């Protein structure tokens, strides 16, 4: 919440308002502190002996990172990518702040806009839009998770 005003000013100066760039580019860079914490905790579980063995075998620091550490980080990187995709696709406040044109709103905003407590819900529309909203998440999950 504290970062919303500075980010809005930054995106306005960059000319990114009323586009999908403020929603996609920060998500692709995975600057969320949760993922940094998750990766650090995963890296703490990697034994130092593997780095020492790579050094004995003649690897420099970059080769050790690329050939030893990074292959071991694949499960946690896939988890970070999957969580970031889920959180970005379910984001409600970001599109309301950065997108001004109603036609550019994502499905999560349209889903909420279709529910009006005063008039009542058209459940067939709400459920159809919910299915449309969840299809990309299920497709992404199918790529990473083995379902029976």
**Total number of domains in the chain:** 1
Check which CATH number belongs to the domain holding 68 and give it. Answer: 1.10.3720.10
User: Residues 88-136: pLDDT tens digits?
Assistant: 888 888 888 999 998 888 888 877 777 776 677 778 878 888 888 888 8
- Model pTM greater than 0.75? no
- What CA–CA distances, in Å, run from 128 to 6, 19, 114, 123, 147? 37, 26, 11, 8, 24
Q: Which domain holds residue 87?
A: 4-144
> What are φ and ψ of residue 91, in 5° steps?
-65, 135
């Amino acid at each position: 919440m504290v970062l919303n005003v500075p980010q809005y000013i930054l995106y306005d100066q960059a000319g990114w308002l009323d586009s999908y760039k403020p929603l996609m580019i920060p998500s692709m860079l995975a600057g969320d502190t949760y993922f940094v914490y998750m990766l650090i905790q995963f890296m703490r579980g990697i034994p130092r002996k593997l780095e020492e063995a790579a050094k004995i075998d003649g690897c420099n620091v970059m080769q050790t990172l690329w050939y030893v550490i990074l292959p071991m980080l694949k499960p946690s990187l896939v988890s970070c990518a999957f969580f970031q995709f889920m959180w970005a696709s379910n984001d409600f406040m970001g599109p309301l702040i950065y997108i001004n044109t109603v036609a550019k709103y994502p499905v999560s905003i349209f889903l909420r806009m279709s529910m009006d407590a005063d008039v009542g819900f058209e459940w067939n529309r709400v459920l159809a839009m919910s299915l449309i909203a969840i299809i990309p998440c299920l497709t992404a999950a199918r790529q990473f998770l083995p379902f029976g």
